Structure 1
Amino acid sequence: MSNAVIAFLKKIIIKQRVYIEIPNNVIYKTRIGNANAIITPPLKSYYLLIFYIIFKIPLIKKYFTMFAGYFYFLSNIINIMIKGGFLMFLIIKIALIIVAIILLLWIIGLKIIPNNKIGIVEKWWSPKGSLNEQIIALHGEAGYQPEVLRGGIHFRTPLMYKIHIAPLVTIPQGQIGYVFARDGIPMAPTQTLGKIIPESDNFQNVRGFLTNGGQKGPQRGIIREGTYAFNLAQFMIITEDKTYYLPMGNRSEESTINKMAELLKSRNGFTPIVIKGTDDKVGIVTVHDGPSLNQNDIIAPTVGDDVSNPETYHNNFQDPEKFLKAGGFRGRQYQVLVEGTYFINRLFATVELIDKIVIPVGNVGVVVSYIGSKGIDSSGEDYKHGELVEKGFRGVWRDPLMPGKYAFNTYAGHILMVPTTNIILKWISNQSGTHKYDENLKEVSLITKDAFEPSLPLSVVMHIDYKKAPLVIQRFGDIKMLVDQTLDPMVSAYFKNIGQTKTLIDLIQQRSEIQNMASKEMKEKFEHYNLELEEVLIGTPSSSPNDNKIELILTQLRDRQIAVEQIETFTRQQKAAEKAKELKEAEARSAQQTFLTESEINIQIEGNKGKAEYQRSLQEAAKIKALAEAEAEKEARIGIGKAIAVSEQVKSYGGPQYQVTQDIMDKFTKAIETSKIDIVPKTVISMGGAEGGNSAANAFEMLLTLLIGDKLGVKLSTDMNLNKEESERVKKIKEAILKSIEESNKEKEELVKETQDQAAPAKEKEDK
């Protein structure tokens, strides 16, 4: 056994370039640089046994050989110091101190981690033992620890720990990172991806991930742009450029991760889904996780689209946990993605882009839905060709889609275009209308009453009411089938029946009548199929290339028409000659037109002068009449005014007799004053009267009596009628004058009152 031990310990290499060489003769030989020293201590067999046991354990072997090398190195240094003197001793002493410091730092586990790196801690041994099935030691066991060391100085003794330096993980702008967990609870058989653990802090908290039910395998959560400090012993991070993980020597694991990365690249999973508005696309989503659909369903219903309910609103499949919480199923989804950017986990859901449905103007879209529950028939009891349902139910929807763009999921239904403009169907070979529904139609073959067999070209203009479009689709499937299977045989049979009752010439000459009759009679038949017939247009019957009988009939008709046209031509030529005669007369009259025009102008000028003189005389007469009427009005008003004044004076004197007396006395007084006659005579001769009174009268009395009684002829009576009737015009003028006087008096009274009111305060002030 000693020979085997000696052979095993023959050569041990030490980092400090010190090694022990044990030859077969059991001589210990040390080497320091180029110096050799031979030490020959006794080596017993039990020492060899201890060495053998030590070197069978790799960890003890490593550190034992290291410390043995240091021991022999130091012993040889001491010998050199003794022989080399003080200077050499000092140098060696400093070197020993440095070596001792380095050795001390190594023993206490000094570790410097850059700020752009992390340290993953691996514990070699622990009093709590080792792990069984787990990879991460949550309770201090030996194994990978959940916490990582960030940039800075750390102390972890190498006797217990090993620090793995790993980079920080950076997800570039506009990219997505995926996570594969090495440790955790196994997923259920129905699961595809591990559930999201909010306590894991976006996979940066390993302890929170594992203690809250985190599952091993690919995860539902994704990593957005940014820099993260992941524990790469627990999480493997897959990006477009690189996969970040701590190698553990498991090739099958690496193969799985590489396949996962290739799958994501094939799905463009490292970039978000971007749907541009200019592309007119919608995204059809297929979910690969969650409960399966019922066998009768082909599309998963829409769930979690209510923004007001944040617990289940998954924001267009960007939050898988809320989608599943809302009751979402795996499989193709009814909900679609419209324009925008979506960060969707491609392991959870894939997206297929399809074109939007565009319903042009002049069309409606009839929806045939493949999903939904059975709805109530709304087509009516008389409709026996199928059922129409409300929106959201399985079947043909009652209400069509109006013109526009629709984000319609074509896996959940089909939209049939129905034109609402006029549809022209041509029963003419090699011709078709705009909608191409008449590609298979050709002329109608007839047999006339006179045994001709012409081909009748015709066109039918029809219209489909947009509200009845679902009824047409439910009944015929599509418009092309309607034309080929229904309208073609119906129209052909109708005109075949017409042809049997008409001769060929009747068909040609009565085309308009036949056309109007067909429009009226066929309209009811079209309405039976929920169609609206607008017009029927009939062409000219034609024969086959080898049949010229119809052409002969047409030639005769043309000759007959030519004769009729010649008669008409001769008649018109005769009328043209008469018109030529009238033209010459008109030209002769036109030659003298200048003289006629001048004479007519002179007549018109003279007439205008006479009219001007006449108008001038009328204006003069009107002026004279107006002046006369104004003067008469003036005199009348002055006279009436004077009469009113006299009347008022009479009233003031008490009667007309007093007024007359007053006037006479005034005039008499003025006469006496002017002539200077004595009113009382200077000598009075009194003659006795019969009654003994004074019968002699003076001149004043006599004159007064004479003037009043005889000379003036005024009958002084109080019985004068002052209330004689007046004319209506005099009354109106009188009333107007009196009203004007009253208004003037009122204005004067108001002015006086206002003046007194203004003067009163000033007077009171003076009195004070």
Structure 2
Amino acid sequence: MIVALIVVAAVILLLLFLIVAGGMLIVVGGQQVGVVERRYFGRTLPAGRVVAMRDEVGVQARVLPPGLHIMFPFIYVVRKTDMLMISEDEVGILESIDGLPLEPGRIFARHVEGHDTFQDGEAFLRNGGQKGPQIDILPPGQYRINTYLFTIRAQPVVTISKGQVGVVSARDGDPITPGRLLARKVQGHQAFQDGEAFLRAGGQLGPQIEVILPGRYRINTDLFNVEVHPATIVAANQVGLVTAKDGAPLPSGELVAVSAEGHNDFQDASAYLGAGGQRGPQYDLLKPGTYYINPLMFDVQLDKVAIVQRGEVAVLVSNVGKEPEDIPHEERLSGRERYVVPAGFRGIQSEVAGPGVYYLNRWAYIAYIIPTTNLTIDWAEESGGNGDPGTDATGASGVRRVQLFNPLAVISRDGFEMRVSVKVVIRVRPDQAPLMVAKIGSIENLIDHVIHPMIDSSFRNQASSSEAMNFMQDRADEQAKAHARTREELEKYHVECVSVLISQIILPQELMEIHTRRVIAAQQQAMFIEQQKAEHERIATENTRAKADKQIELVAAQIGVQIADQTKKKTIIEAEGRARAVQVEGEAEGKKILAIGTATAEAYDKQVEAVGQLNLAGIEVTKSIAGAGLKITPDIMVGGADGAGGANVFTAFIAQLLASNRNALTTSPDQPENGGQPNR
């Protein structure tokens, strides 16, 4: 009996030993981790602690790695869990249930070293790890972490796709600088992936001035809230007008902020503020492209580019620059409108922009597109669907019709209502465009407030001073008057009047019927006159036919007439020849006599000079008497009464002449004078 009891006791002890020995062997698999709880034989946990160190009673901070472990089953309890897996597109967000308390005002526990990515719980607590949300995160991988000490949530990584931008707001950090809307930029946090570096560098609580560019980021999303916004895309033929929500205030009287340097097209908001960027509409703009801009800092409004077509110019009105009063006197544009200023001053710019595409900031500059080709304003009935009043169409000739009004209704002096269709063609020269804008503002204002009232008034006045039919018949004169007045008036607005044309004048129907009957009567009278002319032509034709029948006789008679005419001409020519011969002979004889007389006169003049006029007269008388053979003196010389007995030259010459004459008379007429010898 005793032996049996001993055997039973031995078996019971053996069974108890096997049970105890079996509980002491703990096997942790390769993908497992053992969480240990110590129930007996240890120190009590300090106040405020919930996780025990190695020699303390409670759930242990340490864990059992894979392998065979000997544990006293009545002292330790081991709970096996799977290893923590963080995939490639995830991060692990941790929260500790034990550790030192957080500093006042802090939300996240500070970073501590030496805990092997939270896999060594005892090192975490021993090195001063803090209770609460952890600022560090777990990157992708497998971890043997005490899931009792740490609560882990797997969160997807922050992915910013192409054409997007990440806007960040921090839930912890220093307060934002008073007067600022966004937290200042800090260095070293690797695009908010290092939360500890962010806080250590003085990162501020709230919306951040920095943004996250396209990519994948392992960010603690409990510390940083990331909102994904589309990037600012400025398409072709667009510009981006930027408004800053933070910065220095605009100076008094300024509408647009001054240009700031170094902000990389507003993509570096911190550099913008550092360069003194101002709050409000910006002078700089964004050209076509993609921009990663913080929408909390800048608001971007898309606008169309300014396109100036051929045949147009853009007159710019500047809202920026110096006041016109600051223009030196010598630089003022003499003879120009008051508000037309050179570049760099606020007002209407004197230089225009020619055809092209311009990236224009409409907050800084207002562009007025002014056509420089011929513009036609019509007062006519609408036809062909060319448009309602106010349309802008270009015809085949290249002349633009910019306005269509109803025909002018005017009253003539004799009380008839007429409808007059008019075309006015105007042109603005490019150099005159700024002056026109300064004077009237735009082509539309010019048409509505100047040209239309002036044309309407001009034709009403002209029609009231003329009868209806005369107005239509004197159309060219009325057109010239209207053109002269329009040209003079438009010169005041720096616009050239090319022409004023009257297209059509519509008179009342009853007046047109009377005029039509009058014209028909005049046409009938003209027809009768033409018929009379036709009868006269017929008579002339019959006369010609009769003459043709007598053509042979008529030709013979004509030839006889021609022969008689030629004979007459011959006789006349011969008579004229004889008369001419007599005339020539007479002229020759006259010239001969004239020559002899001239020579004789000259000889007499010389003889008068030699012997005197009285003596010469006596000599000539004596020659004449001697030549005639007259005997006028006795043969005996009688002396003078004075008894001197002398003879002068005259008496001697007379005596000699008488003697010679006497000898000649005694000589026979047949006897030769040379001593009886015949002449040979």
Shorter-normalised TM range = 0.5 to 0.7
Of 190, 195, 209, which aligns to 2:184?
195
What does residue 169 of structure 2 align with?
Answer: 180
After superposition, the Cα gap between the structure-2 partners of 1:300 and 1:436, relative to the gap in structure 1 and judged at 3 Å, is farther
Answer yes or no: is 1:470 the counterpart of 2:434: yes
Answer yes or no: is 1:368 the counterpart of 2:317: yes
1:259-309 superposed Cα distances (whole Å, 9 cap, x missing partner): xxxxxxxxxx1x3223333xx3322223323233345344333322xxxxx
What does residue 290 of structure 2 align with?
Answer: 341
What does residue 329 of structure 1 align with?
Answer: 278
What does residue 480 of structure 1 align with?
Answer: 444
Of 91, 98, 104, which aligns to 1:132?
104
Maintained 8 Å contact 1:170/1:225 = no
1:301, 1:181 → 2: CA distance? 31
1:487, 1:400 → 2: CA distance? 24
Maintained 8 Å contact 2:92/2:139 = yes
Provide the TM-score with structure 1 as the length reference.
Answer: 0.50
After superposition, the Cα gap between the structure-2 partners of 1:495 and 1:383, relative to the gap in structure 1 and judged at 3 Å, is farther
1:300, 1:569 → 2: CA distance? 90
1:573, 1:336 → 2: CA distance? 90
Secondary structure of 2:209 counterpart: coil
What does residue 267 of structure 2 align with?
Answer: 318
1:560, 1:288 → 2: CA distance? 85
Structure 1 unpaired stretches of 5+: 1-31, 34-49, 71-93, 240-268, 305-311, 583-768
Secondary structure of 1:199 counterpart: coil
Maintained 8 Å contact 1:425/1:437 = yes
2:177, 2:538 → 1: CA distance? 107
1:692-730 superposed Cα distances (whole Å, 9 cap, x missing partner): xxxxxxxxxxxxxxxxxxxxxxxxxxxxxxxxxxxxxxx
Aligned pairs for 1:570-609 within 5 A: none
1:47-106 superposed Cα distances (whole Å, 9 cap, x missing partner): xxx99x979967459899995899xxxxxxxxxxxxxxxxxxxxxxx9861679x97999
2:464, 2:314 → 1: CA distance? 42
What does residue 285 of structure 1 align with?
Answer: 242
What does residue 442 of structure 1 align with?
Answer: 407
Query: Which residue type is aligned with residue 323 of structure 1?
Result: Y
Query: Which residue type is aligned with residue 415 of structure 1?
Result: A
CA displacement at 1:186 relative to structure 2: 0.6
2:528, 2:184 → 1: CA distance? 99
1:119, 1:69 → 2: CA distance? 23
Query: Which residue type is aligned with residue 223 of structure 2?
Result: Q
Secondary structure of 2:490 counterpart: helix
Query: Which residue type is aligned with residue 287 of structure 2?
Result: V
CA displacement at 1:222 relative to structure 2: 1.7
2:159, 2:78 → 1: CA distance? 37
What does residue 171 of structure 1 align with?
Answer: 159
CA displacement at 1:482 relative to structure 2: 1.7
2:323, 2:248 → 1: CA distance? 23
1:445-503 superposed Cα distances (whole Å, 9 cap, x missing partner): 2434x665544432222211122122222212222222232223333444445446654
What does residue 588 of structure 1 align with?
Answer: none
After superposition, the Cα gap between the structure-2 partners of 1:539 and 1:526, relative to the gap in structure 1 and judged at 3 Å, is same
2:58, 2:511 → 1: CA distance? 131
Secondary structure of 1:198 counterpart: coil
Of 398, 423, 446, which aligns to 1:459?
423
1:726-755 superposed Cα distances (whole Å, 9 cap, x missing partner): xxxxxxxxxxxxxxxxxxxxxxxxxxxxxx
How many residues were matched structurally? 461
1:447, 1:476 → 2: CA distance? 33
1:133, 1:466 → 2: CA distance? 68
Secondary structure of 1:462 counterpart: strand
Query: Which residue type is aligned with residue 321 of structure 1?
Result: S
What does residue 6 of structure 1 align with?
Answer: none
After superposition, the Cα gap between the structure-2 partners of 1:573 and 1:498, relative to the gap in structure 1 and judged at 3 Å, is farther
2:223, 2:177 → 1: CA distance? 20
1:69, 1:288 → 2: CA distance? 54
1:381, 1:577 → 2: CA distance? 81
After superposition, the Cα gap between the structure-2 partners of 1:443 and 1:564, relative to the gap in structure 1 and judged at 3 Å, is farther
2:427, 2:540 → 1: CA distance? 54
CA displacement at 1:387 relative to structure 2: 0.8
Query: Which residue type is aligned with residue 214 of structure 1?
Result: G
1:480, 1:429 → 2: CA distance? 20
Maintained 8 Å contact 2:352/2:430 = yes
What does residue 551 of structure 2 align with?
Answer: none
Maintained 8 Å contact 2:378/2:401 = no
After superposition, the Cα gap between the structure-2 partners of 1:565 and 1:56, relative to the gap in structure 1 and judged at 3 Å, is farther
1:472, 1:439 → 2: CA distance? 22
Query: Which residue type is aligned with residue 204 of structure 1?
Result: Q
- Structure with the largest fraction of helix: 1
CA displacement at 1:215 relative to structure 2: 0.8
After superposition, the Cα gap between the structure-2 partners of 1:217 and 1:512, relative to the gap in structure 1 and judged at 3 Å, is same
Answer yes or no: is 1:215 the counterpart of 2:179: no
CA displacement at 1:233 relative to structure 2: 4.8
Query: Which residue type is aligned with residue 257 of structure 2?
Result: A
1:359-396 superposed Cα distances (whole Å, 9 cap, x missing partner): 33332233334444423678845455x41133464332
What does residue 231 of structure 2 align with?
Answer: 272
1:115, 1:554 → 2: CA distance? 102
Maintained 8 Å contact 1:190/1:291 = no
After superposition, the Cα gap between the structure-2 partners of 1:541 and 1:145, relative to the gap in structure 1 and judged at 3 Å, is closer
Query: Which residue type is aligned with residue 173 of structure 1?
Result: S
Maintained 8 Å contact 1:361/1:403 = yes
After superposition, the Cα gap between the structure-2 partners of 1:525 and 1:119, relative to the gap in structure 1 and judged at 3 Å, is closer
What does residue 358 of structure 1 align with?
Answer: 307
2:202, 2:537 → 1: CA distance? 112
1:532, 1:95 → 2: CA distance? 106
CA displacement at 1:323 relative to structure 2: 1.6
1:360, 1:234 → 2: CA distance? 55
What does residue 339 of structure 2 align with?
Answer: 387
Query: Which residue type is aligned with residue 342 of structure 1?
Result: Y
1:112-168 superposed Cα distances (whole Å, 9 cap, x missing partner): 7657465666666668x7512223436856346655454568898899x74745446
After superposition, the Cα gap between the structure-2 partners of 1:574 and 1:482, relative to the gap in structure 1 and judged at 3 Å, is farther
Maintained 8 Å contact 2:321/2:346 = yes
What does residue 372 of structure 2 align with?
Answer: 420
Maintained 8 Å contact 1:460/1:535 = yes
Query: Which residue type is aligned with residue 459 of structure 1?
Result: K
1:397, 1:409 → 2: CA distance? 15
CA displacement at 1:320 relative to structure 2: 0.8
Aligned pairs for 1:392-411 within 5 A: 393-411=345-363
What does residue 535 of structure 1 align with?
Answer: 499
Of 247, 253, 257, which aligns to 1:296?
253
Structure 2 unpaired stretches of 5+: 1-18, 21-39, 61-66, 113-127, 384-388, 394-399, 545-680
Aligned pairs for 1:72-87 within 5 A: none
Secondary structure of 2:373 counterpart: coil
Sequence identity percentage:
26
Secondary structure of 1:336 counterpart: strand
What does residue 455 of structure 2 align with?
Answer: 491
Maintained 8 Å contact 1:190/1:290 = no
Secondary structure of 2:376 counterpart: strand
CA displacement at 1:319 relative to structure 2: 1.2
Secondary structure of 2:70 counterpart: helix
Maintained 8 Å contact 2:52/2:58 = no
Maintained 8 Å contact 1:444/1:495 = no
Provide the TM-score with structure 2 as the length reference.
Answer: 0.56
After superposition, the Cα gap between the structure-2 partners of 1:238 and 1:538, relative to the gap in structure 1 and judged at 3 Å, is closer
RMSD between aligned residues: 4.8
2:537, 2:497 → 1: CA distance? 47
